[in-house]
Amino acid sequence: MLASLRLRAVTTIIFSWCALAVPASAQDEDAFSEARQRLEAGLSAMVGSPISIDRVEETPSNDLIEVAITDGPVLYATRDGRFLLLNGDLLAVSETSVSNWTEQRRTKERVELISAVDIDDMIVFSPAEPAKGYINVFTDITCGYCRKLHLEMDDLNRRGVEVRYLAFPRGGLESDGARKLATAWCSRNRESSLTSLKAGVEMPINDCAGNPIAEHYALGNRLGVRGTPAIVTSDGQLIPGYRPAADIAALLGVE
């Protein structure tokens, strides 16, 4: 009899706990359902294919939830799903798109910082007619794709694109590339010297005092340049690597 009462009491406790536990789980799902829907819709729009979320869970932070993408990575988002952390960037999420809030801040900063550079400290290749647009290019003498881009200078200028070069020696300020860049910037005819050096012509090293190589290099690092060529458009977009002249003109809207 006593054993029967004990069994009945344990059974009652178990069922009571289950009855309490199920609504709590459902409540959590309801709390995150709006975030789940927003994130699934926004990420799907961003990548152009359906994205589903496997699970959404709490984190030690009251402000963030953990989001596990089905067959994908684990991400962190605000509890309402309006903001998402991805590779250190803060993304703003709507049901139709995802915008990189951090990159928007970087873009604004690039415009401000490059605008502060004296154009006389750049090597500028201008069209014969008034320019329709311009690009800033961090370049290195020893960079093959920098040479490839430079070979399209006439095409860029014909399309109305002005090219403003800044120095970015990939090997650092003590490298051969830095000394060759200094030679171009210290020349009386900078444009001609830069073109010759990129064509492989050997020239006496001229590392004159007051050249802007170190300042350009520091600026490039601050802007997130990791290699060359690195194109920064007039509106602050950072485009790593080589792009054909036609693509650059199309990007600037000067076709």
Annotated catalytic residue 143: yes
Q: Which residues of 26-50 are buried (b: 16+ CB within 10 A; e: fewer)?
A: eeeeeebeebbebbbbbbbbbeeee
Considering the candidates 146, 159, 164, 243, report the single residue annotated as catalytic: 146
Which one is catalytic: 79, 110, 143, 147?
Answer: 143
For residue 234, give the DSSP letter: T
Q: Which of 44, 33, 34 is nearest to 96 (CA)?
A: 44
Is 146 annotated in the active site?
yes
Catalytic residue, chosen from 38, 110, 147, 170, is 170
Assess whether 105 carries a catalytic annotation.
Answer: no
Cα–Cα distance for residue pair 213/17, rounded to 1 Å: 70
CA distance 8 to 24: 25
The beta-strand segments (E) located in the chain are 53-58, 64-69, 74-78, 83-86, 89-93, 98-100, 123-125, 133-139, 161-167, 230-233, 238-240
C-beta separation of 188 from 156 below 8 A: no
Q: Is 208 an active-site residue?
A: no
Q: Of residues 36, 38, 110, 140, which has the active-site annotation?
A: 140
| Sheet of 123-125, strand order | 123-125, 161-167, 133-139, 230-233, 238-240
CA 121, 125, 129, 130 torsion-angle sign: negative
Contact present, 251 and 152 (Cβ < 8 Å):
no
Q: Which residues are catalytic?
A: 140, 143, 146, 170
